[in-house]
């Protein structure tokens, strides 16, 4: 009889242990599932932010390309104007005494500058 009570007591202990282990396993697996869902949601948020950042980078890249083209155009225009100033100075030095030739030279310089500026407008 004492042996039966002992066996019964051991069976109850084993059952309790099995129940406790079952509860621990269930709560652990549930926690893992919730953690995985939270991680998945966090990854989705990070991916969305990354897409937004990539979009902003692309917009910035396009804007900089436009600015670069504009700066190049302005630089070329400045070169045309600088060449015109140099040509005017050359005309002034070359035809100091002859106003008619100076005027003719200046008109040619102006025409070259106009052509230069026109080419810039066509190319960009």
Question: Using one digit for the tens of pLDDT, what is the confidence trace for 58-94?
Answer: 999 999 999 999 999 999 999 999 999 999 999 999 9
Query: Could you write out the three-class secondary structure of the chain?
Result: CHHHHHHHHHHHHHHHHHHHHHHHHHHHHHHHHHHHHHHHHHHHHHHHHHHHHHHHHHHHHHHHHHHHHHHHHHHHHHHHHHHHHHHHHHHHHHCCCCHHHHHHHHHHHHHHHHHHHHHHHHHC
Query: Full-prediction pTM beyond 0.85?
Result: no
pLDDT digits (tens, 9 = 90+) for 16-47: 788 877 777 767 766 666 666 667 778 888 89
Number of structural domains in the chain: 1
CA distance 36 to 43: 10
**What is the DSSP secondary structure assignment for residue 88, as one 8-state letter?**
H
Domain span including residue 17: 2-123
């Amino acid at each position: 009889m004492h042996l039966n009570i002992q066996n019964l007591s051991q069976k109850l202990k084993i059952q309790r242990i099995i129940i406790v282990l079952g509860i621990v396993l269930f709560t652990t697996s549930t926690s893992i599932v919730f953690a995985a869902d939270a991680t998945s949601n966090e990854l989705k948020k990070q991916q969305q932010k990354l897409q937004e950042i990539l979009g902003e980078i692309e917009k910035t890249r396009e804007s900089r390309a436009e600015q670069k083209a504009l700066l190049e155009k302005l630089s070329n225009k400045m070169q045309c104007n600088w060449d015109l100033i140099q040509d005017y100075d050359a005309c002034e030095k070359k035809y100091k005494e002859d106003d008619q030739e100076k005027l003719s030279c200046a008109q040619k310089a102006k025409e070259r500058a106009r052509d230069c500026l026109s080419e810039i407008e066509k190319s960009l």
